[in-house]
Amino acid sequence: MKIIKAQVAVIGAGPSGLLLGQLLAKQGISNIILEKVTGEYVLGRIRAGILEQGFVDLVREAGVVDRMVAEGEVHEGFNIAINGHCVRIDMKKLSDGDSVVCYGQVEITRDLMEARQAAGLSTYYEVEGVKLKNVTSDNPSVTYTHAGEKYELQCDYIAGCDGFHGVSRPTIPAELRIEHERIYPFGWLGVLSDTPPVSDELIYCKHQRGFALASMRSATRSRYYIQVPLSDRVEDWPDDAFWDELKKRLPPEAAARLVTGPSIEKSIAPLRSFICEPMQYGNLFLVGDAAHIVPPTGAKGLNLAASDVATLYKVLLRVYKEGDKECIKQYSEIALRRVWHGERFSWWMTNMLHNFDDMGSHDLEGATFARFMESELSYYLASQAGQKVIAEQYVGLPYEELAPLDTRS
């Protein structure tokens, strides 16, 4: 068994792990990232596209913001269409000047990977059998196999950034974990294509045939989604069938502008709300999708991962720069407060915008639930106060600071 050491062991080289690693390294806090799959595989996962200002600021602090600023597009508004009738949410006006940036998760991940490589920082890809040891002691470690060799990574802290299916969360004993979960009775079929987007702002469509979203990655690359039954498979949706269905759900002006082309990626994602409490156990911290999942309707998953990273970064800075180990107890409470807001927003948007058909929800019979949600959406869209509630959550709620040193109990 080879022994290696770092102050922080980071499990997972998704955006959470890479961003945390970069921020810590800039502050002279050593860290090693362990990733189960190859770098190319990580970059093959097409996911998020919409970033809050807090995310962009954090990436700036990590020193990796140049390409995001040059190539990302600032969006000051987005649209919600109800059966073809569009209402624009003017985020900038309604949220005191805030906006979001459209820049793909793949590109952020690539930027962070390249910066890490250029700085000579260690990431081990294709590690197997990762196990977290002694996480409640002062000497935690992570054991794994890499290129046929067994390793023990000895560290002070472990950041579990290994996504929903990772090994970090199950390391917290089941009796100490509370898990909240809702699985939705439909999924999103997503298509990426090298075609110009139908609109320069996103359009979320509530339609009697089911939800649709028109999004983008650039002026020449579109990302579209449609709500599909959970029983559907990608093979059930040849490109022509996808474009036909999307066209029916878009508002007529947008449908008339739709340029179709071959899909360059097509996948179905199930929709889930999930929260694990607490997010800290001894010297292990859960970060991002390892601790919580949101349905993508509010564009919050990656943005919540970023606020976890921001909180853990503040905690570890205080531990290493000021010798205050007490503050690690603040992590879970601060992170979860923002997570619950993001979860509620994502759940609410999902309920209002999707077609639950005859499935019903929350003990309500299908048609009754549908009418409540129609009423809810039209009520919020009809007034500036209602639109403001949507806008200020979409651009992202503020990040919370740690309690100051002198008020510690």
Interacting residues toward ligand RFL by CB under 6 A: 11-17, 34-37, 42, 47-50, 105, 127, 130, 161-163, 165-167, 188, 190, 269, 288-289, 296, 299-303, 305
Q: Which of 75, 266, 314, 388 is catalytic?
A: 75
Query: Would you call 207 a catalytic residue per the annotation?
Result: no
Q: Nearest approach, Cβ of 239 to ligand RFL (angstroms)?
A: 18
Q: According to the binding rule CB under 6 A, does residue 296 interact with ligand PHB? A: yes
**278, 306, 374: which is closest to 52 by C-alpha?**
306
Q: 132 or 328: whose CB is closer to ligand RFL? A: 132
Q: Nearest approach, Cβ of 193 to ligand PHB (angstroms)?
A: 13
Contacts 24+ apart (CB under 8 A), 397-403: 397/338, 397/341, 397/342, 398/54, 399/54, 399/307, 399/310, 399/311, 399/338, 400/311, 400/334, 400/337, 400/338, 401/314, 402/311, 402/314, 402/315, 402/318, 402/327, 402/330, 402/334, 403/327, 403/330
- Among ligand RFL, ligand PHB, none, partner that 34 touches (CB below 5 to 8 angstroms by kind): ligand RFL
Handedness of CA 313, 166, 336, 297 (dihedral sign): positive
Q: Nearest approach, Cβ of 379 to ligand RFL (angstroms)?
A: 25
Stretch binding ligand PHB (CB under 6 A), from 138-146, 169-177, 234-242, 296-304: 296-304
Question: How would DSSP label each residue in 46-113?
Answer: ----EE-HHHHHHHHHTT--HHHHHH-EEE-EEEEEETTEEEEEEHHHHTTS--EEE--HHHHHHHHH
Q: 6 or 80: whose CB is closer to ligand PHB? A: 80
Instruction: Report 13-52 residues binding ligand PHB (CB under 6 A).
Output: 48-50
Query: Would you call 125 a catalytic residue per the annotation?
Result: no
Q: Which of 204, 225, 331, 380 is catalytic?
A: 204
Q: Nearest approach, Cβ of 246 to ligand RFL (angstroms)?
A: 15
- Among ligand PHB, ligand RFL, none, partner that 111 touches (CB below 5 to 8 angstroms by kind): none
Quote the CA–CA distance of 344 and 360 in Å, as a whole number.
19
Query: Would you call 300 a catalytic residue per the annotation?
Result: yes
Quote the CA–CA distance of 58 and 96 in Å, as a whole number.
20
Residue in 141, 215, 227, 361 binding ligand PHB, rule: CB under 6 A = 215
With CB atoms as reference, the residue minimizing the distance to ligand PHB is 49
Within its chain, how far is the Cα of 17 from the centroid? Answer: 13
Q: What are the catalytic residues?
A: 75, 204, 296, 300, 394
